[in-house]
Structure 1
Amino acid sequence: MAIVTLAAAKAQLNISASDTAADVELQTYIDAATAAVEEQLGQVVEQRTVVDQLDFAGSARSFLLRSVPAVSLTSLTSLDGLQSWDVGSMHVDGESGLVTLLSGSSVTGSVLAAYQAGMAAVPANYRLAGLIIIQHLWETQRGTMGVQLGGDADNYVAGRGFAIPRRAIELLGPQLPGVA
C-alpha cells in the first residue's frame, strides 16, 4: 500500500484514468512522495517487510526494531543461519518497536530480524500531503508552476529543500523525536 494510489494521483493532477502515458513516471513520484513523508514523520507509512541486522555484544531479553510502527515479527535468526528464536514467544510493542522475549533463550551475537512495519491505514492528512508533493513534483517537471517572487507566497521551508512544499510539511505535523 503506497501513501496514495495511482488513481488518486491522476485525479489530483486532472489526468484521465484511461490516459496511461505517464503511469510509470507518476508511480515514481508516488514512491518518492511516500519516502519523503516517511522521512519527515520518522515512521513507516507504507506497510512492507523490513529486515534489520542487530548486533548484540552480550545477551539480550529485549531489543528495539529500527522501523515503526512494527506490525509483527516474522523471524529472528542468527546471521550465520545456525540459530533461530521462536517469535511466538516474543511480545512486540508496535508503536515503540520494542521486542521482549517472554520465554526461551536470550538473543546473542549478530541476528537478522524480519518483520512487517507500517500503518494499517494511512491518515487523510498524510495522503493529502503525499498528493501535494506529487503535484508539486509534477508541476516543476512540466514548468507549470509560475514564478513567485517575495511576499507571503513562499512555499518552502529554509533548510528543507525544494521537494516538499510547506503546506505538505504542515499537514504532516511535527517530526517525531528519535535517535539521530
Structure 2
Amino acid sequence: MPYDLGATARLTAECRDPGGALATAATAAVTVTLPDGTTATPAVTEGDPGVYRADYPTTEPGRHAVRWVWTGPAHAYTDVFDVRDAAPPVILSLADAKKHLNQKTSVDDDEVRFWNEATTRCVEFFTGPVIPRAFTELHRERQQSSLVLRRTPVIAVTAVEQLRAGGPAYDVGDLLVDEDTGRVSLAEGGYLRGPLRFTYTAGRTAVAANIQGAARIILQHLWRTQLAQGRGGLPGGTDYAVTEPIPGLGYAIPNRAVQLLEPDRLPPGVA
C-alpha cells in the first residue's frame, strides 16, 4: 500500500547464498531512487540472520525504486514502493468509505484508502476532475482566437507563461474563461499567440449527491475483490451488475454507477 508523504517507509529484504539459504553478508547496502531521479542510501541493519531492514523517511510523492546489494555472499534484490501526494484527491472520506463498506475497525484502513483512491479515478474518467487541484498543460498553437483547456470544469486560471522569445505576455485578468467548456479567449478580442503554458485549477467546489452515490457503488464493487470466495452475495446485487465493458475501464464500473454519473458525464471526445 502507498505511504503517506512524510511517513517512514520500512524496507526489508533477505540475503541468501547461492543455495537459497539465509546468510549474513559481509556488506549490505540499499539505494532508494526517488521520482525526481535523486538517490538516498538509508542505514541498513540486520535483525535475524540474513534478514535486513532500512528505514527511509519519505520526502517526495510518486514511485520509488529500491535496490539491495550484498557481498559475501553476492546477492541482490529490487523492489518498488509508492508515496501519496500530500493531499490525494478522494471523493469519499475514509469515515464515509468505511461506513459504506461496514468496516468497524481500523484493520483494513490502508486497503480501504487504496480502493477509495481508485474509485475517485474511475469516477473522474466519466466526469473530469471532481476534487479541485492544479493542472499544467502546454498549448503549442502559434495563433488562435481561443483554445480549450483539457480539464473541466475550470475553477480558475492562475498563470499563463509565454514560451516564445519575444512573444506577447498575457495576464490572467486579460482572459475570458468558460468554466464548463474550458474555452479561453482574450476578453477584449484578438488572438492568443503561443506556444503558451497554462496553470489552472479544475474540479468542483461542491460534490453532487449523484457523484457521491456513484462513488459508493464503485467502491463497493471494487471492494468485493477483497472478500473471500463463498461469503455470499451483496444486498442490492443489481446495483453492482456489469453487463458490458466500458472502453478504458472494462468491467470495473457497475451499471447503476454509470447511470448516476450520466448528468455530469463528459461529452464524447472530451478527455
TM-score normalised by L of structure 1: 0.82
| 1:8-157 equivalences in 2 (<5 Å) | 8-16=96-104, 19-41=105-127, 43-56=128-141, 58-79=142-163, 84-103=169-188, 106-143=191-228, 146=232, 155-157=241-243
Cα distance in 2 for residues equivalent to 1:136 and 1:111: 42
**TM-align CA RMSD:** 2.7
Cα distance in 1 for residues equivalent to 2:179 and 2:259: 25
Cα distance in 2 for residues equivalent to 1:137 and 1:50: 28
Structure 2 partner of 1:164: 253
Cα distance in 2 for residues equivalent to 1:14 and 1:37: 21
Structure 1 partner of 2:56: none
- Structure 1 stretches lacking a partner, 5+ long: none
Number of aligned residue pairs: 173
Cα distance in 2 for residues equivalent to 1:20 and 1:78: 49
Distance 1:12 1:68, change over 3 A: same
**Equivalent position amino acid for 2:95 in 1:** A
Secondary structure of 1:59's counterpart equals coil
1:135 CA displacement? 1.3
Q: Comparing both chains, which one has the higher relative contact order based on Cα–Cα distances under 8 Å and sequence gaps of 6 or more?
A: 1
| 1:24-83 deviation line (CA, Å, top 9, x unaligned) | 222221111111111123x22111111111111x32342111010000001010347986
Structure 1 partner of 2:90: 2
| % identity of equivalent residues | 34
Is the contact made by 1:63 and 1:98 (CA closer than 8 Å) also made in structure 2?
yes
**Equivalent position amino acid for 1:167 in 2:** R
Cα distance in 2 for residues equivalent to 1:165 and 1:153: 7
**By percentage of residues, which structure has more helix?**
1
**Equivalent position amino acid for 1:4 in 2:** L
Is the contact made by 1:89 and 1:104 (CA closer than 8 Å) also made in structure 2?
no
1:108 CA displacement? 2.5
Distance 1:81 1:104, change over 3 A: farther
Is the contact made by 1:55 and 1:111 (CA closer than 8 Å) also made in structure 2?
yes
Query: Which range is displaced more, 115-124 or 103-112?
Result: 103-112
Secondary structure of 1:94's counterpart equals coil
